[in-house]
Chain A
Amino acid sequence: MIVVRVALLTTLRAAGLGLALGLGAPAFAAAPAPAAAPVLTREPVLVHFVEAEFPASERDSGRGAKVVLRLEIAADGSVRAAEVVESAGPAFDEAARAAALRFVFQPAEVDGVPSAIRILYAYEFRPAPPEPPPQGALVGKVQARGRGTPLAGVAVSVTVVGADAPFTATTDEGGAFRIDALPPGSATVELQGEGFAPVRAEEAIEAGTELEVAYQIQLAEPSGPAEGEGDDLEIVVTAPPLRREVVSTSIRAAEASKVPGTSGDVLRVVESMPGVARAAAGSGQVIVWGAAPQDTRVYVDGVPVPRLYHEGGLRSVMHPSLVDAVELTPGGYGAPWGRGLGGMVRVDAKTPRRDRFGGKVAADLLDASAFVAAPLGRRADFAAALRVSYLRAWATRALGDEVAAYVPLPGYGDGQVRVLVRPSSRDTVEIVGMAASDRFRRGVPNPDPALATLDRRSLDFQRVYLKWTRQTSERSTLTVTPYVGLTLSEQATAFGALETSLRARSWLVGARANHRTRVTEWLRIDAGVDLEVNFIQLARRGALALRRGRATSVFGQPPPDQLGADAWDVALVGAAPYVEAEFSLWHGALKILPGLRLDPYARSVSRRNPPSAAAPAVGLFAEDFTAEPRLSIVAAPTDRLRLRAAAGLYRQMPAPEDLSATFGNPALSTPRALHVIAGGSVSITDTLSLELTGFFTRARDLAMRSPSAAPLPAEALVPIGSGRAYGLQAQLRQDLFKGLFGWIAYTLMRSERRVGDGPWRLSDFDQTHILTAVLAYALPRGFDASLRLRYARGFPRTPVTGAYYDVGRDLYQPIFGAQNSVRVPDFVQLDVRASKRFDIRRSRLEIYLEILNVWNRKNAEEIVYAPDYSARGVITSFPILPVLGVSWEF
């Protein structure tokens, strides 16, 4: 913005009379005149001012200027000429002249007659004053935890990094507060009031936005610790995280840990989220909207990790104390994310900020864990967590080696180390290391060694990353996350001497950089790059059919006895620049988020021909490029109604294990998918909302086992598969209110596959009906109670309609009916959870009891057959199962 101030200095001369009149700004100053001379009876008056354009060349100099012009004003008031008398430089001179020539005056009068006149005019340029820095606001409520009653008179103090003094407010009768004019950046919110010890929370203030929060404060119980000895971990932040995806479910860690079935493991709440199929017990799979588990990507702080749960699905791979929130996006996500055909699980981790050393230890039947956190001076924090399972150790002792050999007992462990450094007021740096390890081994002995079976799996992964966030300006933030990781996996099954195995060693190097800029009040832009490089060494041996879904098989069927082998290396390189804009119109009533992700992709496979002693390996290099447009629209026609729609193209690199010349196809093309989503939500109350979402996804170029009886070499897999999923998802959600939160989610959907132009059939991961109800309530005196009800249609399976005797192997082989034409029986389960906290001086002890499958219903997990396929039955899940756990937080 250029502001031009104008002053007038005039020299008046009646034409041909040599009169001169000098006037001070804005008035005219007359010079002395001879008595007989014509008399200026009216001064010229500027009636139309033209603002001069501030010269672009001078804009950055920050200096002002004054140009004095001599204007020749005609008798009609127009400016006939403008002459520079005092120059301020060519640019300013010209700008002033150009403007002055367009002035219009009420003409001067000499002796009562309009006359031409000359005046001096000073045109002053002043640089635009600096805009006031954009500011944010913090608006919130403070309530008593578990009661929902507002807390009045609570002193709210916000300390923003770089600000001279804290910003303060006091809650009103309704517990509400508001603090405006907050500079953007990281802020520490401290609450002080009667009945509780001071508590703190970290918030991110963003320019031009109003951050809405709700704080739940645990008041000291009458019999609890004395005032001032409370626990500073009692604050529960229930503000919804920034929601940019059109359809997603995000849950804060504090709420998630109360859901039955999680055993306090925050990330296990994903199983109960809308759109997530009920996976087989112990599988640990995340199946979203009928997509194959491997099509849904899992990120921790934007860093891809190979799995969300440990083997067996009993625990997640991250300690709950380091989880801030978890968000599931079933589809339609924005341009910053890609390389997946299905959904996305994003875990926001945290380094808890403390003013003293603290931690938490916990133990139950499965494992024990420890977490510690401490400040490292004023500018850094440290946190670490470790978890080790001992289920296998005690179960083996309790059951005996023989029984334990039958029962699959996973062994697992994980650890995380995080250091948060704030080197300046604008920067935060988190250095993170995380690792997880899984071991699983089970064998079924048999008097005939050829029938003895062994199942062995292991997966170790490590990730090291650095997350650097810099407030580059008042309106922009830069986040850079470089990472490196190693994943070692092995799965082997042996049926007598017939072993099928797959071993992989995968190095992962990547970086994610995102620059977010609020260009104007109505436009925000995210631009960045998502770089991911994988180097994988693989070795596989055995029959072709190792993975379900590639060939029709029945659960527990012995593998084919035909063997192949291959060892190959794969390098996958993807560097995807992206940009996403958020147009916020009509004060946010309409948001349009167009995005574009460019996904150039290169692949190198060490062997394009099957292994042969007679022919050397010939490598393959392939590259691909796609543009993946994304569009999301969110409209809020009223305060309580929100409509959403999204569409986008997605792509996923072929799985490295599918790029074998023996077992797969090194030249597989990249599968692609289209997501289309539309829906809306209604806020029934401030905390109760109903959301309805319709979705349609379509995938193509999926790798399928070649249907040919004589396929070409290195074409065991061919990209002839298509998939589609469509359905409707409804969720009634109660955010935390008076200690109550929960949701009822129902998904009606269908997921289908087909080969080539063949007929559509159900996919292996279709669950037509998924209903999940979660209800949690915070009771007085530190008690919490919750329940979870789940109903899910069974997964499709291919029936066995007959059998024939394979006399050479002395085995019966199944004859299949129509693919996926029967289902595992429906699943219904009710779980309940109760916990009690004991505040002991500056620490807290929590004991919880979960009772899973309260009805003791015999839920079917899988269809199995007699060895000669003459009878069919189902494996049932666990009976009623109590789980007791304890944790101590200090």
Chain B
Amino acid sequence: MGVLKPGAFGLGVVLIAACVPDVDVDLALVTSPRVLAVAADPAEVGPGEKMTLRALYAAPGGTLTDSPLVWSRCSARRPLAELGPVSRDCIDGGDGALTEIGDGLEVASQLPPDVCRLFGPDPPPGDPGGPAGRPVDPDLSGGYYQPIVLAGRSVADSPTLFRLRIACGLAAATQEQSSQFRRRYQRNLAPAISALERVSDASADLLPPGEALVVEAGERVRLRARWTACPGEPECGDGLCTLGEDGTACAADCGPPGCAGAEYYLRFDPDELDLVVARESLAISWFADAGHFDAERTGRTADDRTNASDNTWTAPEDRDEATLWIVIRDDRGGAAWRELSVLLSR
């Protein structure tokens, strides 16, 4: 018997005394070229604004610096009858749903001006003379997203979906709430791994970027990813442009916005129909081209103030070197990564 991971959710009472088949796979193990993460700069983009998209494209042996990836912007709304995050047409490439925006590991593009009507809170046009349609529902962080599809040149390559957070207004809010939201909301700043450490019972050794980690074959290595501690309360002069601060209220902080950790942000709660302050949760995805992680993902909830997350990697027995990738993601679609080369001694 095996254990299903995310897919096991919703099994319900069918599991009474039942057995689950072993269909588990190690998602942390990179066995073929695949996209591990996509980062947008800026991480949150308004209609008509420009951005740069960069992919972490990994393969056994290390990060690929050249890729056959083709980037396309999706322009098809997802019908309510489809359960996935994006219209099936954007995955199949059917019905003119995709517009190519570039290829390679990094592309620069611009959002269409009507993106908030297509994928945001602005109601889409209805039939001529009829009422407007239903706006898209926001996600848990109150955000809306432009789907971007990354596909290989080969039809055998399975596509990758990246959802770029778009800066739109609010649906179902009063004018005052919308105004307050525009004034106080700070666009997302992608999180970053501020430090990577090798942890033992006695100490934590910093692993500087670019330096290889040397471990013995088969050794269990405890790793810790750290990120910036963001302030709970905005404080002008802390160097961070955070919730409620802007160029007028705190010019000293609000040059580059945000905090590259678990940020506080403003969102519209569809339940309360009011603006609420939320804090990001952060997730760490661990990848390796050899060996085995205890957990494929770790993370911290929004109410957990710890600014680090640990995982243990078991080095392979039969390799001389390995590559690890540690990807950090926040609730609002921001992502960043670190690569760690490992030399294995026997």
| B217 close to chain A: CB less than 8 A | no
Q: Enumerate 8 A-B pairs (CB-CB under 8 Å) in ascending A order.
A: A314-B16, A560-B84, A706-B81, A808-B145, A864-B7, A871-B25, A873-B21, A873-B23
The answer to whether A446 touches B18 (Cβ under 8 A) is no
B290 to chain A, nearest CB (A): 19
B173 to chain A, nearest CB (A): 5
Q: B139-160, CB under 8 A of A: which get 1 and which 0? A: 1100001000010000000111
A293 to chain B, nearest CB (A): 13
Q: A715-B134, A815-B91, A878-B17 are in contact. Are A613 and B273 (CB under 8 A)?
A: yes
Q: A808-B333, A813-B84 are in contact. List 12 more A-B contacts (CB 8 A).
A: A281-B18, A448-B298, A448-B299, A449-B299, A453-B10, A497-B281, A557-B83, A562-B139, A711-B80, A815-B91, A862-B11, A879-B19
Q: Which of A447-494 contact B (CB under 8 A)?
A: 447-451, 453, 455, 493
The answer to whether B17 touches A710 (Cβ under 8 A) is no
What is the bound-complex CA distance between A609 and B299, given in angstroms?
Answer: 38
- Residue with the highest number of chain B CB atoms closer than 10 Å, among A555, A614, A807: A807
A276 to chain B, nearest CB (A): 18
Partner of A282, one of B16, B284, B285: B16
What is the bound-complex CA distance between A873 and B150, given in angstroms?
Answer: 29
What is the bound-complex CA distance between A311 and B175, given in angstroms?
Answer: 46
Stretch in contact with the other chain, from B30-38, B201-209, B230-238, B258-266:
B30-38
The answer to whether A875 touches B15 (Cβ under 8 A) is yes
B30 to chain A, nearest CB (A): 12
Q: Which of A648-707 contact B (CB under 8 A)?
A: 704-707
What is the bound-complex CA distance between A858 and B138, given in angstroms?
Answer: 43
Question: Top 5 nearest A-B pairs by Cβ distance?
Answer: A873-B21, A448-B297, A710-B133, A282-B13, A612-B172
Chain B residues, CB < 8 A from A714: 134
What is the bound-complex CA distance between A805 and B91, given in angstroms?
Answer: 11
Stretch in contact with the other chain, from B100-108, B123-131, B244-252:
B123-131
| B315 close to chain A: CB less than 8 A | no
Stretch in contact with the other chain, from A105-113, A207-215, A545-553:
A545-553
| A822 close to chain B: CB less than 8 A | no
What is the bound-complex CA distance between A861 and B82, given in angstroms?
Answer: 24
Chain A residues, CB < 8 A from B27: 867-868
A540 to chain B, nearest CB (A): 10
What is the bound-complex CA distance between A804 and B157, given in angstroms?
Answer: 9
The answer to whether A808 touches B11 (Cβ under 8 A) is no
Q: Which of A546-594 contact B (CB under 8 A)?
A: 550-558, 560-565
The answer to whether B20 touches A864 (Cβ under 8 A) is yes
Chain B residues, CB < 8 A from A314: 16
B87 to chain A, nearest CB (A): 7
A812 to chain B, nearest CB (A): 8
The answer to whether A710 touches B134 (Cβ under 8 A) is yes
The answer to whether A709 touches B23 (Cβ under 8 A) is no
Closest to B151 in A: A804
Stretch in contact with the other chain, from B71-79, B192-200, B219-227, B318-326:
B71-79
- What is the size category of the interface that chain B forms with chain A? 35 or more
| B277 close to chain A: CB less than 8 A | no
Chain B residues, CB < 8 A from A639: none
| B96 close to chain A: CB less than 8 A | no
| B276 close to chain A: CB less than 8 A | no
| B166 close to chain A: CB less than 8 A | no
| A415 close to chain B: CB less than 8 A | no
Dominant SS at the B interface? Answer: loop
B80 to chain A, nearest CB (A): 5
The answer to whether A875 touches B14 (Cβ under 8 A) is yes
The answer to whether B4 touches A864 (Cβ under 8 A) is yes
The answer to whether A552 touches B83 (Cβ under 8 A) is yes
The answer to whether A802 touches B172 (Cβ under 8 A) is no
Chain A residues, CB < 8 A from B7: 554, 556-558, 864-867
- Residue with the highest number of chain A CB atoms closer than 10 Å, among B15, B20, B124: B15
A668 to chain B, nearest CB (A): 15
What is the bound-complex CA distance between A312 and B17, given in angstroms?
Answer: 11
| A189 close to chain B: CB less than 8 A | no
Q: Which of B169-186 contact A (CB under 8 A)?
A: 171-175, 177
Q: Which of A796-846 contact B (CB under 8 A)?
A: 802-811, 813-816
Closest to A715 in B: B134
Partner of A878, one of B18, B138, B177, B281: B18
Q: B61-101, CB under 8 A of A: which get 1 and which 0? A: 00000000000000011111111111110010000000000
What is the bound-complex CA distance between A653 and B283, given in angstroms?
Answer: 45
Chain A residues, CB < 8 A from B34: 805
What is the bound-complex CA distance between A629 and B76, given in angstroms?
Answer: 47
Chain B residues, CB < 8 A from A555: 10-11
The answer to whether A611 touches B9 (Cβ under 8 A) is no
What is the bound-complex CA distance between A864 and B298, given in angstroms?
Answer: 24
The answer to whether B158 touches A497 (Cβ under 8 A) is no
Chain A residues, CB < 8 A from B177: 613
The answer to whether B13 touches A283 (Cβ under 8 A) is yes
Closest to B22 in A: A873
What is the bound-complex CA distance between A871 and B22, given in angstroms?
Answer: 9
The answer to whether A876 touches B18 (Cβ under 8 A) is yes
Closest to B81 in A: A705
| A877 close to chain B: CB less than 8 A | yes
The answer to whether B35 touches A280 (Cβ under 8 A) is no
Q: A497-B281, A875-B18 are in contact. Are A408 and B83 (CB under 8 A)?
A: no
Closest to A612 in B: B172
What is the bound-complex CA distance between A387 and B309, given in angstroms?
Answer: 47
What is the bound-complex CA distance between A284 and B125, given in angstroms?
Answer: 44
The answer to whether B10 touches A410 (Cβ under 8 A) is no
What is the bound-complex CA distance between A715 and B160, given in angstroms?
Answer: 31
A217 to chain B, nearest CB (A): 40
Chain B residues, CB < 8 A from A789: none
The answer to whether A805 touches B161 (Cβ under 8 A) is yes
Partner of B76, one of A557, A709, A870, A877: A709
B214 to chain A, nearest CB (A): 26
What is the bound-complex CA distance between A387 and B80, given in angstroms?
Answer: 43
Chain B residues, CB < 8 A from A543: 137
The answer to whether B297 touches A810 (Cβ under 8 A) is yes
| B59 close to chain A: CB less than 8 A | no
A210 to chain B, nearest CB (A): 48
What is the bound-complex CA distance between A864 and B5, given in angstroms?
Answer: 11
Q: A804-B159, A811-B6 are in contact. Are A870 and B13 (CB under 8 A)?
A: no
Chain B residues, CB < 8 A from A709: 76-79, 87
Closest to B137 in A: A562
Chain B residues, CB < 8 A from A303: none
The answer to whether B273 touches A813 (Cβ under 8 A) is no
| B12 close to chain A: CB less than 8 A | yes
Closest to A878 in B: B17
Q: Which of A728-775 contact B (CB under 8 A)?
A: none
Q: A495-B9, A551-B82, A867-B25 are in contact. Are A450 and B281 (CB under 8 A)?
A: yes
A396 to chain B, nearest CB (A): 14
The answer to whether A814 touches B137 (Cβ under 8 A) is no
| B213 close to chain A: CB less than 8 A | no
Q: Which of A852-869 contact B (CB under 8 A)?
A: 858, 861-862, 864-868
| A226 close to chain B: CB less than 8 A | no
What is the bound-complex CA distance between A474 and B9, given in angstroms?
Answer: 61
A84 to chain B, nearest CB (A): 85
Partner of A713, one of B8, B134, B295: B134
A761 to chain B, nearest CB (A): 13
Chain A residues, CB < 8 A from B171: 612
| B211 close to chain A: CB less than 8 A | no
- Residue with the highest number of chain A CB atoms closer than 10 Å, among B79, B131, B269: B79
Q: A614-B173, A864-B21 are in contact. Are A282 and B134 (CB under 8 A)?
A: no
B86 to chain A, nearest CB (A): 8
What is the bound-complex CA distance between A889 and B264, given in angstroms?
Answer: 65
What is the bound-complex CA distance between A409 and B163, given in angstroms?
Answer: 38
A554 to chain B, nearest CB (A): 8
A722 to chain B, nearest CB (A): 15
| A290 close to chain B: CB less than 8 A | no
The answer to whether B83 touches A870 (Cβ under 8 A) is no
